[in-house]
């Protein structure tokens, strides 16, 4: 009984150790995912700053165009007709550049987020697969230990039954021997008389 108790305690301790290891693996994986999320958030903050800068540039371009539009026609230097055209081209180029930059930032932001999400999904799928494998191994180990424990219990039960039978046979033979000795002793006494 003491051996069985010690064996049971050892098995329980071993299972607890394995489960603790799996918990540690899961905790590390969760921490890794949280770090990735933090990096994504930080990246999005940086992209938001770029978007804000692009919006500021667009506002400056709009302000420059408004300023150009507010110039009275009388003050235009007709002798230098390229002056107004050149200024208009600068304003339009600035505005187009700001719009293109803003669209590119949004596109890059979306692509980067989609890539990060895909990576996280792949990692999560791989981790889930590993956890399932570990869980399957643990279940197999528990089933094996349970089967071994049941086999040992059956063997112990058989040994106990066999011991009881041997003990019973021994006492029956001992009783028969005692009866035979008594009979022989009585016969000897009768013979002596």
The pLDDT value recorded for residue 148 is 76
The pLDDT value recorded for residue 117 is 73
8 A C-beta contact, residue 60 and residue 94:
yes
The pLDDT value recorded for residue 78 is 47
Domain ranges of the chain: 2-192
The pLDDT value recorded for residue 33 is 66
The pLDDT value recorded for residue 76 is 52
Classify 76 in phi/psi space as left (phi over 0), alpha (psi -120 to 50) or beta: beta
Q: What is the pLDDT along the chain (193 residues), one digit of tens a residue?
A: 555 555 666 566 666 676 677 667 667 766 776 677 677 677 777 767 776 776 777 676 666 666 666 655 555 554 455 555 666 666 666 666 666 666 676 777 777 777 777 787 777 777 777 777 877 777 787 778 777 777 777 777 777 787 788 888 888 888 888 888 777 777 766 666 5
Classify 14 in phi/psi space as left (phi over 0), alpha (psi -120 to 50) or beta: alpha
Separation of alpha carbons 31 and 90, rounded Å: 50
């Amino acid at each position: 009984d003491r051996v069985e108790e010690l064996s049971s305690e050892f098995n329980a301790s071993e299972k607890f150790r394995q489960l603790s290891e799996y918990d540690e693996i899961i905790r590390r994986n969760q921490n890794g995912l949280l770090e990735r999320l933090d990096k994504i958030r930080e990246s999005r903050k940086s992209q938001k700053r770029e978007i804000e800068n692009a919006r500021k540039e667009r506002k400056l371009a709009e302000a420059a165009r408004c300023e150009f539009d507010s110039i009275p026609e009388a003050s235009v230097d007709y002798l230098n007709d390229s002056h107004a055209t050149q200024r208009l081209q600068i304003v339009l180029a600035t505005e187009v550049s700001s719009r293109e930059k803003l669209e590119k930032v949004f596109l890059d932001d979306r692509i980067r987020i989609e890539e990060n999400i895909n990576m996280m999904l792949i990692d999560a799928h791989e981790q889930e697969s590993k956890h399932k494998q570990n869980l399957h191994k643990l279940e197999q180990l528990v089933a094996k230990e349970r089967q071994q424990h049941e086999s040992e219990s059956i063997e112990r039960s058989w040994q106990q039954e066999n011991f009881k039978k041997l003990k019973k046979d021994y006492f029956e033979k001992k009783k028969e021997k005692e009866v035979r000795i008594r009979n022989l002793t009585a016969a000897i006494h009768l013979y002596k008389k």
